[in-house]
């Protein structure tokens, strides 16, 4: 199989441990017989975040309107924030959002014409603190990010949602926190994604064993 590897998806700052584990996972798939090629994508973080806010604002917000009106205080701050942002999305924004989604989908589609799947991190950092809230900054390699969406490397694929994506463990950070690898397949090609994940599991099975407790 021909696999593309893009550690930063062209625009994300990625934690050093996450990047190293992603590369190591790609090496295991090379050992399994795949051809892995490092590629770049022309994506812009501002485009992805804006498209995501419009996308979820038009779908997620209206879908929970009745619940929000009755139980606003019981919802997570994450849900409340998306609800508030959805009220700011206009019809003009919706049309603009479709154009932004096309900008995201086009280069991904072109890439998957040449490769069976794309490999990338699931998240830009190993984890956020349990008490983290969406209005707080977070850091990547010591650099602060004010927008919480900057860490979610799943967003392009939430938008290009016809492409199946499977997240599997890629290793551990220096703090013992598991890191994730996303396997992004061609449109509706779920089978190839599972084949790639299975090949990685065969070569990294210790992380899947319930009897294994890695040292912290």
Residue 207 is predicted with a pLDDT of 54
Residues 151, 9: contact at Cβ < 8 Å? no
> What's the pLDDT at 214?
52
Chain segment 9-39, per-residue pLDDT in tens: 999 999 999 999 999 999 999 999 999 999 9
All residues at 6 or more sequence positions from 8 whose CB lies less than 8 Å from its CB, including other chains? 14, 19
* Per-residue pLDDT, 109: 97
pLDDT value, residue 48: 97
The pTM for the full model equals: 0.90
Domain residue spans of the chain = 2-208
Q: Residues in the chain with pLDDT < 70?
A: 206-216
Q: Which CATH number fits domain 2-208: 2.60.120.620, 1.10.150.120, 3.90.1300.10, 3.20.20.80?
A: 3.90.1300.10
The reported pLDDT for the residue numbered 213 is 53
Residue 131 has a pLDDT of 86
The pLDDT score that the predictor gives to residue 81 is 81
């Amino acid at each position: 199989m021909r696999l593309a590897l893009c550690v930063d998806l062209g625009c994300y700052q990625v934690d050093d441990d996450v990047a190293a584990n992603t590369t190591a996972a790609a090496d295991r798939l090379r050992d399994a017989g795949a051809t892995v090629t490092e590629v770049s994508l022309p994506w812009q973080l501002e485009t992805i975040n804006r498209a995501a806010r419009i996308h979820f604002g038009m779908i997620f917000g209206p879908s929970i309107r009745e619940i929000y009106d009755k139980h606003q205080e019981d919802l997570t701050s994450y849900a409340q924030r998306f609800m508030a942002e959805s009220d700011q999305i206009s019809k003009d924004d919706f049309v603009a959002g479709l154009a932004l989604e096309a900008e995201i989908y086009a280069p991904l589609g072109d890439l998957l014409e040449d490769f069976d799947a794309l490999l990338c991190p699931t998240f830009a950092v190993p984890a956020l603190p349990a008490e983290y809230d969406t209005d707080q900054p977070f850091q990547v390699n010591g650099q602060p990010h004010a927008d919480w969406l900057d860490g979610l490397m799943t967003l392009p694929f939430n938008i290009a949602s016809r492409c199946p994506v499977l997240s599997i463990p890629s290793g551990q950070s220096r703090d013992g926190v598991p890191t994730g690898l996303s396997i992004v397949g061609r449109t509706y090609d779920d089978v190839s994604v599972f084949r790639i994940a299975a090949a990685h599991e065969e070569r990294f099975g210790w992380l899947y064993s319930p009897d294994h407790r890695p040292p912290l």
